Chain A
Amino acid sequence: MSPKIRLLVFLAAVVCILPAVGRLALQMPAFGAHPLPYGDAIDAAAPGERHVTNMVSAINFDYRGFDTLGEEFMLLCAVTGTVVLLRGHRGEALEARPGIVRGRAIAPRSEAVALISRLTAPVIVLFGVYVALHAMTTPGGGFQGGVIIATGMLLAFFGDGYPGWRRVSNSKVLDAFEGGGAALYALCGFASMLLGLPFLTNFLPIGTLKDVFSGGLMLVENAGVGLAVTGSFLLLFLEFLEETRTKKPKDGP
């Protein structure tokens, strides 16, 4: 298809779709308006019923906890698939050489980058732990905390290079984090069933409002999500960064 025909097809499509888009755009609710009643209902009910002040966590881990279980296993499957595709001997050794592009020198790491990475990495990881722990009281939660921890750990690569990064991210530990976190979430549901309650019923004492340890079973589920997300993101980074090393003939992909 030549560029000219492609442009003509595109313009024809625009002419067909534009009236419908324009009509829909005019009928949209005003910016910032939320006509559906569910948000207000959760805002009114969750602090009294579940003793948590972060409504997003209340929805994710309690009112719609089963959906989160599905997302949890979606993440597990996606990361497992990536790891299966990329796992090989390439880059597994601490002293693996960086890959070479012909005609381009490997620039040495600047001291400023190393210093900033080393200074900020622990603070970022600590902040991630804080965000993950305070899921029931302040914005954030296991997912957000987990990705913040993972990117903080990644700074080891920028601060200390590949060997430093390999030392802090042990693939076996990360596997355990990833699978264990997802298993912990699922086991929460089965624990409810053991007590004769419906799947994922919040059976633990829900504590006092505005306390870090409020929310009952949601805390355990949140810990499961936090572990799984930290493990999966670090595992992704690890497998991808292995691809930047030189390939030996006997190595796999």
Chain B
Amino acid sequence: MKILLAVLLLMLAASGTGVVLTRTPLRQVLALSVNGAVLALLFMALQAPDVAFAEIVVGAAAVPLLFLVVLASIRMDRSPRAPDRL
């Protein structure tokens, strides 16, 4: 159990650092989703399945989806000459 928790905490630190260090918004959204999934696993290991359910759906699926839609919408409204950096 201790090893599992340690591994999950390390994964959480790594994926959280990944979110901060990613620079392109699209990859940031995916990193955020991975971070949410790892967080849900940690909640599960800490015997909080209630929170794990909410986290895996909201953190790993719903919020990234809304961000993706926002990115797509911004990109469609952008004039064709502007640099495509999203």
Contact = CB atoms under 8 A, between A and B. Distances in A.
Nearest to A236: B66
Q: Which label, helix, strand, loop or mixed, suits the secondary structure of the B interface? A: helix
B57 A151 contact: yes
B57 A147 contact: yes
Contact of A244 (B58, B72, B84): B72
A150 B58 CA distance: 10
Contact of A151 (B62, B66, B69): B62
Interface residues of B, number: 18
Interface stretch (B10-18, B19-27, B30-38, B73-81): B73-81
A143 B54 contact: yes
Interface residues of A, number: 26
B69 A140 contact: no
A233 B84 CA distance: 31
A143 to B, nearest CB: 6
A240 B49 contact: no
A247 B74 CA distance: 12
Contacts of A236: 62, 66
A147 B80 contact: no
Given A244-B69, A244-B73, A102 B58 contact: no
Interface of A: 56, 99-103, 131, 139-141, 143-144, 147-148, 150-151, 154, 233, 236-237, 240-241, 243-244, 246-247
14 contacts: A56-B50, A99-B76, A100-B76, A103-B84, A131-B53, A141-B50, A144-B57, A147-B53, A150-B62, A151-B57, A151-B61, A237-B65, A240-B69, A244-B69
